[in-house]
Chains A and B, each alone.
Chain A
């Protein structure tokens, strides 16, 4: 395993800049997830680490070696692609052994290493099959097998679970995490799915429009988002935002409702315009609560109940652990969990 150091990384296609100076430090053995909306440059960044895209500026180091001008095969990395990219005419064993064959290993050596990796991933019964005869989950596993056979310094994953169905995705998530625990190899993983990022990563890098918004551990980012973008991106359903004005130690919403700020009242000034952020699970039903909203839609999932509401003219979502007998149009009152209130500057969106 190796560290990966990315310094002031830039990428432009002609006059269009897509990545504007990114700095990321990845410790040896760390599981780092790049997450962001479509087009934020996360895949481009991964491909630059892999050597599949040229670097327009900055440096990428793997271990203490700058790899900017090294060919992909010389970077000691392995990559798992979203569409698996298995060689269709080769068997699973041949697919897994291809890199070793290219590196000039002996047949016996290749067979031994393929067998060892197949055992780790439970691929032994599939070794003689062609990719066309495998299910999506099996192909995904073979793609990972192909990566681990080479014992690389760094694994690169490019949205590896996007093509799987929901159930398989949850299962593979656990498998990848277990694999990381077992091999201890550094992993750089790209996804647009914030649930994947939250559940698997040691460290999350949130990207937006070619810039780093925030870097930190999953729960750190969830509890202390640096800005409105990170707050809104992580968490499902997303955080509720309300335009508010500070009035007598409360945040007054557009229709006059007031949310008490408790301990945070000291951090803001009377009359200040800001954005109030409340996570859906921090609102609880309370007939005497300060917040009132009109029910638009109720979505029971069985374990939880999602309520879509109109609060002070803005869309909001509340997640309740309990079942709820209510209909669209009903008015409900909520209490706000103290200590879970987020405040953002109205203009910059930065956390206060």
Chain B
């Protein structure tokens, strides 16, 4: 095999992956993703984020995992760390819960385990409401 041919083929494969995959993330309808800055150990989400929806996914560049924040029917807010309790991989939101693609663990909307190998429920983070913000305590005691 010619060196030039090897390099050319490998580059074509890499370029194909690099070009194709970002498009997958760019299509479809916008999700409920909002950016929030970490203030100390807290994430702050404006209450206005729930004007037209009952949940948001909170992302911060300073943190490794997203937080699922849902407004319950009683008006309280529930925050779940989107990290699988099996091997600490990120979980993905589905239409009725969460799934970890690494080993297939599934959780329901409340973070309860539906399918192993995860045996522990998703971690719930404490929330408080102060004026016009929901405060999510990111570091556990």
Partners in one complex: no
Which residue numbers of B lie inside 8 Å of A, CB to CB?
Answer: none
